[in-house]
Each structure stands twice: as C-alpha cells, then as structure tokens.
Amino acid sequence: MISGKYRKITGSKATALGLVAASQKSGLQLIYGGYPITPASEILHELAGYKHLGVKAMQMEDEIAAISVAIGASYSGALGATGSSGPGLCLKSEAINLAVMAELPLIVCNIQRAGPSTGVPTGTEQADLLQMLFGRSGESPVPVLAASNSADCFETIYEACRIAIRYMTPVIFLSEGHIARGMEIWRIPNVSELPKIEVHFRTDPEGFAPYQRDPVTLARPWAVPGTAGLEHRIGGLEKDDTGNVSFEPENHEAMTRSRAEKVARIVQDIPPSEIFGEPLGQMLVIGWGGTCSTLRKAVENKQQAGASISHLHLRYLNPLPGDLEDILDRFDKVLIPELNMGQLLKIIRARYLVDASGLGKVQGQIFRVPEIEARIEEVLK
Amino acid sequence: MKSGYSATQNSQYSLLDCSASPLPESTKHDFESDQDIIWCPGCGNYSILTQIQHILPELGVPRENFVFVSGTGCSGRFPYYIDTYGFHTIHGRAPAIATGVKIAHPELSVWVITGDGDALAIGGNHFIHLMRRNLDINVLLFNNRIYGLTKGQCSPTSERGKVTKSTPMGSLEKPLNPISLALATGATFVARTLDQDPEHLQNIIEAAFQHKGTAFVEICQNCCTFNNHEFSQYTAEGTRLEHTVFLKHRKPLVFGNHRDKGIRLNGLRTEVVSLIAGRFSMADLMIHDQFSEDPTHAQILARMVETSGLPYPIGIFRSVEYPCYEELMNQQINDAKLQMIGVDLPVFREAL
C-alpha cells in the first residue's frame, strides 16, 4: 500500500468527489443534473452538499431535463454531468446523441441495476454495456469507461472528465449498484498528483470555424457564448465545418467518420494494459467493472494451484486498449465472466475473431469466487 | 423604443458594466446571419425574425452575450438566421438546455425559441418547470396551431374538430390554452402578441427582455402553408379591432372599431357590454392590472378565449417580481462558501 491518508468511501461518494476534483483541477464549474433513481440518487445527494465548492447540482423535472441542463452547461463552458441508471439512460439517449453531434464535453454516469424496465432496482448487473456502446440512433460513437470498485470510481470518473474535455465528447461512466452502495478503502489523493486537465477555450476569431478539428485529437474548438467575434450556431442537425446545416452526402459521411475517428483516437491516451500473472499462457480471464476483485481472487487461487492463467481487467470499454489484440494472441483460451448474458464476450469475439468463452450471471447478485473457479476448470478441460 | 411595460426597469445585466465603455453601435444588419432561410414564402416567422433583429441592437447587450436556444419544428431553425450564439437542440428540450446555459453564466441573455408542438406537447414538462423555477430566460412560443415542419398534423393548440392529416374526421381534443397554462405554473411574465403587428411585437419582446425572471410570450403566427388565416380575424384590417382587446395597464378593457364596446366582470365571468346603449359606461369595465400579485385577474383574461363572442386579449397579462432561480442558487453558494472561510485548502478535500 502506498503511504498516505486513507478513509472508507462509497462508490457514490467517490464518484461525486471525482467530478468535484476534475472541476477543481480544470478550473471549470461543475453543473450536475439529476433525477431521483435507484441506485444513482446518492451522487445527486452528495453533489448537492458541495455548494461551498461552487458545485451547482439541480434536481430536474425528468431524466431528459437532467441531461439537457448538463448539455446546456457544457455549451456555456462548464463541466456538465448527469447520472442515472438503466431506465433513465433509455430516456437520455436522444440527448446523448445531441452531445455527440454538438461535440460537447459531457459526463453521463450509469449506475447499472438489474433487468430491463423497472427490473430489479436494488439488484446489481452489468447488462447495459451494449446499450451504452450502441443504444442510440445513427452512427453514434461514445467513449465508455467502467469503475472496478467503490474507490476506483474516483479515478475512473476523473479520467472520464479528462477525456471528455480533451476530445470534446460525451463520455459514459459505468458503475454498478453494489459499487455505488459498497465501501472500499481509498487513499485520499493530493490535488497536485492528479493528472492535468487542460481547458482551451477558443478566443481568437481569426480563422475560426466551430468544427475545425485539432490535428491530434480531432476535437473541435470550445467556443463559449460571451466570447466576442466567435458568434456561431450549432445543433443536432448534420453540419459542415462552419456549424451551418449541411445535408451534402459526402459531408455527412466525412463528419460521421470524423466523429468515429475522434473517439477511436482516445486509444492514444490509454495506458498499457497490466496483466495479473504471466503475459502469456493457457488462459486469460478478462473482466470489466465490479467483478474485478472476484475474478482476481479466482485467478490467484488457480495460479497457486499451478494453472497457467492470467487476469486482465478493462477500465476502457470504448475504445478498447490498443494492446488488447496482442495480449489475446498470447493465450490459448479466453474466458470472459460478466454479470450479463455475454455482452463484452460478443464484442471481443466480433472484433478480434477470438473463440472466447463466457460465464453469465443475471440474478441481481455479484459473482462468488467458486463460481468463477468452476467455470475456469470447465473451459480449461 | 417604447418601454414601460415592465414592473422592473433595472437592467438584468448586473455583471456587464455598460456604462464604463459604451457599446459600439450595432444595427439590425449585425444580427443577420449569412444563411438562406428555408421557411415557406409568406410564413409569419419572417416578421418575427425581423422584429427581433430590429430590437436586439437597442437592448444594450453585447452581441456575443445573446444566446438563442431552440427545439425542433419550423421555429427550431430560428437560431441559424440570427448572428448571435445559437443552439438548435432536440424536440421540446430547449427550456432545460437553456437552463444549463443560464445557470453556468447568468450574465448571458438567454432566449428560448419554441413552437406549440415543441413547448406544449413533447416539451410540456420542461416548459412548465422552467417557468416554475423563474430563471431569467425569455421564452418566445410561435403558436401556429399546427405541426408545420412535419407537414400538417394537429397540435395541442389546434381547435377541436380541426381536420388535419392526422385527424381526417376532426380533432377530438380540447386545445391547450398557453397563456392559462403559463399562469398556472406561476410564470412571472406572460404576454401575447401577433406576428402581423410589428410595433406591438417589438414592444412586447422588449418588455420580456426587461423583465427579470422567465418571460413567456405567445406569438400568434400564421402558417401560410398548413393553417393559413388561422389568426386573420385578429390581424386583418376591418376585423381586428372587433375581435381583439389590447391589454393596457390601469386602463379599462375597451375594444371595437369605434371603441364602443368593453369587457365587464360579472361575478367571475367576463362579458361584452356596449358603451353606447346607455346601460354601461367606462366606469363599469374591467381595469387591467398587469402587476397584480394574485394571478386570478390574469387567469380570467386568459380564459376569455374559451368563450365565444369575447374578443381575443393581446398584450401583457401579468408581470410581477419574484426571485430568479440562478440568483438564489448563487446566494446559497456564497453563503456556503462564507461558512467555509478559514478552512484549509485544497478545498475538495474538505468535502470528505
């Protein structure tokens, strides 16, 4: 353990503090729109208590308004954030697409609960992954990051904020009911040790175009109301570099590909993957989100029993780490346990043409170590 | 320009010190964008756009501090035609998005451009809650009583029995009364004007701007393609004075080609009385009080459209002072910060 001051923290609190830290570090106002929903309400409660830090948290009239107020805040030059759970995310999807088209930084927290519709509100699950990746109309690329435990919510959402601002994009932060409610030991970081979050508001009217892209990140300039000489119009309609509406066929394709390429380029910011165990072997267990510690324990037990097995945890789910393809090549078998019916499994199989196996559980409950061990044995046979 | 419509004459731009360095003169031309307008020839929106472009240079706000936020529908294209900051958003959500813009930077002059479908159908929830919160935002609702962009379906303000593409045997629904709905939310400024009355339109828009708090303006707007002449009796020479009554603060409600009729309050019902028959005089008429704290007076005027034979009220129904949400929020933040003075920084640690 690194020396420092530690405390216990819930996922909800760590999420709220991660947002506050990103706001403080970037110098941006934090404006959070929320609507009561289990298990995401606690983030709203936490942020409503940080008025002394300048946080503006609003309980809005519905889920759509909650994300809309955040989009308006981002348009106006603040760090806009919203949070909900699956049913709320369904309602927010059109507004997420507005942020995709307007190319504004925005944080969308999805604290996953179990089941479709009202489902099992107090249950935990990881079944919204495909919805977060693909559940919007049109070609709609959105970065997705997932926290691995309660304490990790802080770092993961902080990273989500950094990416959102650097790439001018909405970012989805995935957590789970048991992470939000659960408690972990967390080392209180110093503000100085957190990664920099640089904000560049455009002020120079010379050569300004609202969708002129940065050559490295493909991000468009953030030109906020109140800046003289940069008056312009943007919106949900397809546009060209000027922000004005354009339905030209080639322009639509070029803009669609630019938006996709921008999100794909986030891969350049993803650190090298850390494999628990040998970098090659007979089996790689891949997981994401709140199953991390359970998978780690099961793999550790199997390693101690002599198995050639390693564990890889993914924080970045879109884009996936650039070294993932290489890593997959180095293992004979791949097992992907998830609290769903095989959603990351579908992605990995489709993208890398790997004959990976899965383990799905949808009981509103977390995995137990013996369940993982049993499936490892089965796949290794 | 005429002012004097509003209870509050103080500028809403406390953060902008306009007195120190006078703004360069701007003109209507400065507010015209380079975009081709796609509205149908003859659309009432042209007049509204022109009047707004006329009035903006006179409001004393730097051009870069204007933000126009729209939803979807024919009105949604409005921001593209005005050279300020503009955000064409999604159907019905403009009030919530504008709330975020205003919360982040209260010094901005934020305008919501919406329509009867956008504000009253798909966006009804945001519309009422914006007015309930009373942010200092101006909401201009272009009411043409039809869905124009989608080519002619009935809207929440279409009259019962209206034959449209989606109601071939006539609409079964009672129309919403936008003014009455706004008053019911506690809106602090509620007005109605007409696209075909440029002077009145400009005056009302200026009064809405001067009002501190959410200012709701219903603009009766002619859709010449799908609902032509919907408001003609209120705008055409010959009929307009007989079918409208212009609301003026502290003045009796008089109307008619020869100003020979008035509105009298009989219990809680409004009725038309003749001023020349000898039975009633000016002294018997309702006197308009736009500053009435109690919304009942304004609500009675708003409901006049639901009784046949009564003239259509045009003007400011209500204009009262009430604290703005964004100011109350900043006050809470300042109070919370004061309580934390002397606490060690970095500040976010203290949230632990």
SS3 B47: helix
Question: B96 vs A60: CB contact, 8 Å cut-off?
Answer: yes
Nearest to B336 among A52, A76, A102 (CB): A52
Residue of chain B with shortest Cα separation from A7: B352
Q: What is the number of residues in chain A?
A: 381
CB-based contacts of A148, cutoff 8 Å, min separation 6: A156, A288, A289, A290, A292, A293, A313, A315
**β-strand pairing of A144-146 with B137-143:** unpaired
- A51 shares its domain with A192: yes
- Going by pLDDT thresholds of 50, 70 and 90, the confidence category of residue A190 is confident
Tens-place pLDDT, residues A358-378: 999 999 999 999 999 999 999
- A200 shares its domain with A320: no
Using the structure block, give the residue that is written with the tokens 């110093």: A190
- A248 shares its domain with A285: no
pLDDT (0 to 100) of residue B344: 46
pLDDT (0 to 100) of residue A79: 98
Nearest to A68 among B97, B340, B348 (CB): B97
- A226 shares its domain with A352: no
**β-strand pairing of A56-59 with B244-247:** unpaired
- Going by pLDDT thresholds of 50, 70 and 90, the confidence category of residue B23 is low
Tens-place pLDDT, residues B296-315: 999 999 999 988 899 999 99
CA distances from A112 to A58, A118, A119, A125, A184 (A): 21, 12, 11, 6, 18
- Going by pLDDT thresholds of 50, 70 and 90, the confidence category of residue B209 is very high
pLDDT (0 to 100) of residue B21: 55
Pull the structure tokens for residue A168: 């001018």
Full domain range(s) for residue A265: 1-269
End of a domain among A269, A296, A317? A269
- Check if B1 contacts A (Cβ < 8 Å): no
SS (H, E, C) B310-330: CCEEEEEEEECCCCCHHHHHH
- A309 shares its domain with A328: yes
- A7 forms beta bridges with A186
- A180 shares its domain with A35: yes
Whole-angstrom distance, CA of residue B212 vs CA of residue B321 = 7
Q: Is the model's pLDDT at B6 over the cut of 80?
A: no
Tens-place pLDDT, residues A231-285: 999 999 999 999 999 999 999 999 999 999 999 999 999 999 999 999 999 999 9
Question: B348 vs A20: CB contact, 8 Å cut-off?
Answer: yes
pLDDT (0 to 100) of residue B335: 94
- A286 shares its domain with A259: no
DSSP state string for A187-252: EPPPGGGSPP----B----TT--TTPPPTTT-PPPB--TT-TT---EEESS-B-TTSSB---HHHH
Interface pTM, i.e. ipTM: 0.97
- A133 shares its domain with A261: yes
Cα B313-B319-B322 angle, rounded to 5 deg: 150
- A247 shares its domain with A154: yes
Tens-place pLDDT, residues B143-173: 999 999 999 999 999 999 999 999 999 999 9
pLDDT (0 to 100) of residue A305: 97
Domain count, chain A: 2
End of a domain among A241, A269, A297? A269
Using the structure block, give the residue that is written with the tokens 């632990």: B352
- A286 shares its domain with A228: no
From the number of C-beta atoms within 10 Å of its C-beta (0-12, 13-18, 19+), residue A282 rates as middle
End of a domain among A269, A289, A320? A269
Contacting A residues, span 34-73, partner chain B, CB-CB under 8 Å: 49-54, 56, 58, 60-62, 64-65, 68-73
Whole-angstrom distance, CA of residue B204 vs CA of residue B318 = 12
- Spell out which residues of chain A touch residue B102, defining contact as CB-CB under 8 Å: 72, 76
H-helix or E-strand containing A329?
A: helix A324-329
DSSP state string for B99-149: HHHHHH-TTSEEEEEEEHHIIIIITHHHHHHHHHHT-SEEEEEEE-SSBTT
CB-based contacts of A313, cutoff 8 Å, min separation 6: A148, A276, A286, A287, A288, A292, A295, A296
Question: B80 vs A226: CB contact, 8 Å cut-off?
Answer: no
Please compute the mean of the pLDDT values over residues B96-106 and round it to a whole number: 98
- A19 shares its domain with A133: yes
Query: Strands (DSSP E) along B195-260, which ranges?
Result: 215-220, 244-247, 254-255
- A230 shares its domain with A355: no
- Which strands, in side-by-side order, build the sheet including B254-255? B254-255, B261-266, B269-274
**How many cross-chain Cβ pairs, A to B, lie less than 8 Å apart?**
174
Contacting A residues, span 92-131, partner chain B, CB-CB under 8 Å: 94-95, 98, 102
pLDDT (0 to 100) of residue B272: 98
Tens-place pLDDT, residues A200-216: 999 999 999 999 999 99
Whole-angstrom distance, CA of residue B183 vs CA of residue A113 = 40
pLDDT (0 to 100) of residue B343: 52
Highest mean pLDDT among A161-175, A179-193, B6-20: A161-175
Whole-angstrom distance, CA of residue A126 vs CA of residue A342 = 10
Domain of residue A300, CATH code: 3.40.50.920
Question: A236 vs B33: CB contact, 8 Å cut-off?
Answer: no
- Going by pLDDT thresholds of 50, 70 and 90, the confidence category of residue B1 is very low
- Check if B101 contacts A (Cβ < 8 Å): yes
Whole-angstrom distance, CA of residue B328 vs CA of residue B323 = 7
**β-strand pairing of B312-319 with B189-194:** antiparallel
Q: Which domains does chain B have, with CATH numbers?
A: 28-230+322-351 (3.40.50.970)
Domain of residue A138, CATH code: 3.40.50.970
One-letter amino acid at B144 equals: N
Mean pLDDT of chain B: 91
- Going by pLDDT thresholds of 50, 70 and 90, the confidence category of residue A1 is confident
Q: Is the model's pLDDT at B277 over the cut of 60?
A: yes
